[in-house]
């Protein structure tokens, strides 16, 4: 599982890897119901920081913070993010292979229509993704190398699946790592699952971001975002009409893409591997 690190950020002096941790907590069955953080976490540290006058718009739970503190310490000692992540996955009983796209510093920078440049978490968490996104920059991407295991995972896969994500914000930073796009272009099958339901994302700013970046609306925009990369696009039942209207080389499949529970996720993944 290759995960975006463009959202990584230093908050309260600790290295937050929001996407890596969300995937990790989810696979460990411990994800918070809000879509981030650890389930039933407490907020004693941020509340105490708040009492000391620290701006605490970024609500990092105590357990979540412990993960970040552990990561920060080991990164400072010079260990690569990928091996820290592998150790944490093991400690949490996660057996899937979980790899950051790169061990190097790659940061998504949001350029707003006002010409401001925001760090990802500032845009997403602090300002609640209300700014219109005019352009994305992936700082550090040209020098970044794929983390150990990333290219092998693509090459060895029966099918590469791009999970239902915000294409520009969560997948483009992975594609920006030199070598990843090439490997995907050579893969036999790359299946993207659309994040849209009736043309809209369940949550988050996917449609808005795609629109202000100049992509077409709906699944045509998802296709455009993954242009040259994917062989298959799975759209939700609500968007079945797209399967008929979209043209090109990409095969469009219709499925129930709303995954409520872990066992449904397993069934859906098996379905993706059996796509015609």
- Site for a copy of itself contains 67 (CB under 8 A): yes
Nearer to a copy of itself, 65 or 133 (CB): 65
Q: Concatenate the DSSP letters of all residues of 71-134 into one string.
A: HHHHHHTT--HHHHHHHHHHHTT--S--EESBSS--EEEEEETTS-EEEHHIIIIISTT-SPEE
26, 39, 63, 243: which one contacts a copy of itself (CB under 8 A)? 63
33, 51, 78, 114: which one contacts a copy of itself (CB under 8 A)? 51
- Site for a copy of itself contains 89 (CB under 8 A): no
Q: Which helix (H) or strand (E) holds 262?
A: helix 262-273
- Site for a copy of itself contains 44 (CB under 8 A): yes
54, 240, 264, 273: which one contacts a copy of itself (CB under 8 A)? 54
Query: What is the total count of residues that contact a copy of itself (CB under 8 A)?
Result: 27
Residue 146 contacts by C-beta under 8 Å, 6 or more apart in sequence? 101, 102, 177, 178, 179, 180
Which DSSP letter does residue 179 get?
A: T
Task: Give min distance, CB of 54 to a copy of itself, in A.
Answer: 6
39, 69, 220, 259: which one contacts a copy of itself (CB under 8 A)? 69
40-48, 107-115, 126-134, 247-255 -> range binding a copy of itself (CB under 8 A) = 40-48
41-49, 104-112, 114-122, 128-136 -> range binding a copy of itself (CB under 8 A) = 41-49
Nearer to a copy of itself, 46 or 193 (CB): 46
- Site for a copy of itself contains 49 (CB under 8 A): yes
Q: Confirm if 3 and 98 have CB atoms less than 8 A apart.
A: yes
87, 104, 111, 134: which one contacts a copy of itself (CB under 8 A)? 87
- Site for a copy of itself contains 12 (CB under 8 A): yes
Residue 212 contacts by C-beta under 8 Å, 6 or more apart in sequence? 113, 132, 133, 134
- Site for a copy of itself contains 62 (CB under 8 A): yes
- Site for a copy of itself contains 184 (CB under 8 A): no
> Helices 81-91 and 62-76 sit at what angle, rounded to 10 degrees?
140
CA distance 35 to 33: 5
- Site for a copy of itself contains 198 (CB under 8 A): no
**Alpha-carbon dihedral angle through residues 179, 180, 183, 186, given to the nearest 10 degrees:** -110
Q: Confirm if 147 and 80 have CB atoms less than 8 A apart.
A: yes
């Amino acid at each position: 599982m290759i995960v975006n690190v463009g959202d990584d950020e230093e908050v309260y002096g600790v290295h937050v890897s929001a996407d890596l941790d969300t995937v990790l907590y989810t696979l460990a069955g411990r994800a918070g119901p809000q879509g981030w953080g650890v389930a039933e976490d407490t907020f004693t540290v941020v509340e105490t920081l708040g009492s000391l006058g620290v701006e605490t718009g970024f609500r990092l739970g105590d357990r979540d913070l412990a993960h970040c503190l552990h990561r920060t310490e080991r990164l400072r000692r010079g260990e690569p993010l990928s091996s820290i992540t592998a150790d944490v996955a093991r400690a949490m009983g996660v057996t899937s292979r979980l790899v950051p796209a790169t061990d190097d510093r790659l940061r998504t920078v949001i350029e707003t229509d006002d010409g401001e440049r925001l760090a990802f978490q500032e845009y997403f968490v602090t300002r609640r993704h209300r700014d219109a996104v005019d352009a994305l920059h992936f700082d550090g991407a040209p020098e970044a190398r794929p983390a150990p295991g990333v290219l092998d995972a693509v090459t060895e896969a029966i099918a590469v699946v791009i999970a239902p994500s915000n294409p520009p914000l969560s997948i483009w930073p992975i594609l920006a790592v030199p070598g990843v796009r090439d490997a995907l272009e050579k893969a036999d099958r790359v299946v993207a699952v659309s994040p849209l339901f009736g043309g809209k994302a369940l949550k988050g700013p996917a449609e808005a971001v795609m629109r202000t970046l100049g992509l077409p609306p709906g699944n045509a925009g998802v296709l455009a975002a993954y242009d040259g990369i994917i062989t298959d696009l799975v759209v939700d039942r609500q968007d079945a009409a797209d399967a008929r209207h979209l043209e090109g080389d990409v095969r469009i499949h219709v499925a129930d893409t709303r995954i409520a529970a872990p066992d449904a996720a397993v069934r859906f993944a098996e379905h993706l591997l059996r796509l015609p």
